[in-house]
């Protein structure tokens, strides 16, 4: 008789996911920036930034606001950008290398930046770990490099967890990658290009599966049929786009693959409870 294993609880799945990320520190610095001083970064390595004090804007990175003391920014693929201090600031920064045995597919599914706002407020122990990293990095004690890497690994993992818990779509992309690598290719494609005319057949091809087998596996892994999942991702992206000051409803509709403003508005109303224009107005009022 076949004994079925119990399906992991969500918390167990998150633990399994975070276990896949094992980091070591390749380089670490503490930068003291004067008001309006800029520091440029040009690299392809994964880099983290923690704002220990002050306010820092990262120009050239898609973070939509300056970071405040206690915020943590992870750039999985580095980039070409500047850190500009709005006031005197201290920035703890370093490059990370993944030591995990098979991290490539997970790293590829992270967005260009992972922002954990108020990380120290959510995880008070982070401040002590970062201070420990700074102290160890400035000494020549035997084993300092190993201690710094272990501390950085905890900090980076906690930041990714905080980002996932904030509801940024990471749970879909990353947890699926842990549970089913083939379905994960389809999920990543949906998130990367939500406006494409996705069908079960086209997604099944990405997953190297038959239509019926793919539909069953997709529902089992994500909890939703493919068509409903695509619609939800589009609506989540629509909300994000509508928060941009210059994006019109017509532009959002075209970008997300709707044949008309009316079709988009109907779909958005079913999802959000109000038409796009009303939702945008209410969102701006709530934001102050």
Instruction: Supply the CATH number for residue 196's domain.
Output: 1.10.10.60
Q: Is 5 among the domain residues?
A: no
Same domain, 160 and 201: no
Same domain, 213 and 186: yes
What integer pLDDT is reported at residue 105 of this predicted model?
A: 59
Kind and range of the H or E element at 31? Answer: strand 23-33
Same domain, 64 and 151: yes
What integer pLDDT is reported at residue 279 of this predicted model?
A: 93
Q: How far is the C-alpha of 156 from the C-alpha of 26, rounded, in Å?
A: 14
Q: How far is the C-alpha of 117 from the C-alpha of 109, rounded, in Å?
A: 20
Q: Is 3 among the domain residues?
A: no
Residue 282: CB atoms within 10 A of its CB come to: 12
CATH number at residue 148: 2.60.120.10
Q: Is 116 among the domain residues?
A: yes
Among residues 166, 192, 207, the one where a domain terminates is: 166
Same domain, 247 and 154: no
Same domain, 34 and 126: yes
Among residues 106, 138, 166, the one where a domain terminates is: 166
Containing structural domain, residue 142: 10-166
Structure token digits, residue 187: 């999920």
Among residues 123, 142, 166, the one where a domain terminates is: 166
Same domain, 195 and 162: no
Same domain, 192 and 238: yes
Same domain, 20 and 136: yes
Which positions of the chain have pLDDT values less than 70?
1-18, 20, 62-64, 100-109, 165-179, 287-288
Q: Is 255 among the domain residues?
A: yes
What integer pLDDT is reported at residue 112 of this predicted model?
A: 77
Q: How many domains is the chain built from? A: 2
Q: Is 4 among the domain residues?
A: no
Residue 250: CB atoms within 10 A of its CB come to: 13
Structure token digits, residue 112: 């260009």
pTM (predicted TM-score): 0.57
Q: Is 201 among the domain residues?
A: yes
Same domain, 57 and 192: no
Same domain, 103 and 221: no
Distance of CA 113 to the CA centre of its chain: 6
Q: Is 88 among the domain residues?
A: yes
Kind and range of the H or E element at 116? Answer: strand 114-116
Q: Is 105 among the domain residues?
A: yes
């Amino acid at each position: 008789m076949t004994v079925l294993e119990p399906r992991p609880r969500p918390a167990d799945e998150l633990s399994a996911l975070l276990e896949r990320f094992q980091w070591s520190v390749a380089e670490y610095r503490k930068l003291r920036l004067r008001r309006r001083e800029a520091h440029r970064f040009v690299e392809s390595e994964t880099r983290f930034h923690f704002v220990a004090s002050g306010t820092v804007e990262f120009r050239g990175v898609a973070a939509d606001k300056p970071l405040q003391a206690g915020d943590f920014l992870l750039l999985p693929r580095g980039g070409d950008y500047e850190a500009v201090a709005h006031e005197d600031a201290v920035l703890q920064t370093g490059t990370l290398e993944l030591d995990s045995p098979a991290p490539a597919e997970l790293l590829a599914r992270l967005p260009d930046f992972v922002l954990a706002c108020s990380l120290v407020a959510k995880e008070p122990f982070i401040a002590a770990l970062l201070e420990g990293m700074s102290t160890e990095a400035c000494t020549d004690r035997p084993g300092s490099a190993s201690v710094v890497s272990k501390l950085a690994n905890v900090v980076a993992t906690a930041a990714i967890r905080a980002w996932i818990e904030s509801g940024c779509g990471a749970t879909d992309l990353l947890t699926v990658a842990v549970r089913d690598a083939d379905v994960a290719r389809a999920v990543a494609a949906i998130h990367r290009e939500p406006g494409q005319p996705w069908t079960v057949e086209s997604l099944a091809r990405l997953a190297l599966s038959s239509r019926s087998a793919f539909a069953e596996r997709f529902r089992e892994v994500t909890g939703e049929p493919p068509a409903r999942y695509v619609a939800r991702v589009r609506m989540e992206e629509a909300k994000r786009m509508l928060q941009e000051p210059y994006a019109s409803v017509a532009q959002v509709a075209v970008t997300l693959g709707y044949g008309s403003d009316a079709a988009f508005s109907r779909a958005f109303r079913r999802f959000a409870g109000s038409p796009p224009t009303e939702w945008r107005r209410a969102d701006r009022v709530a934001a102050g």
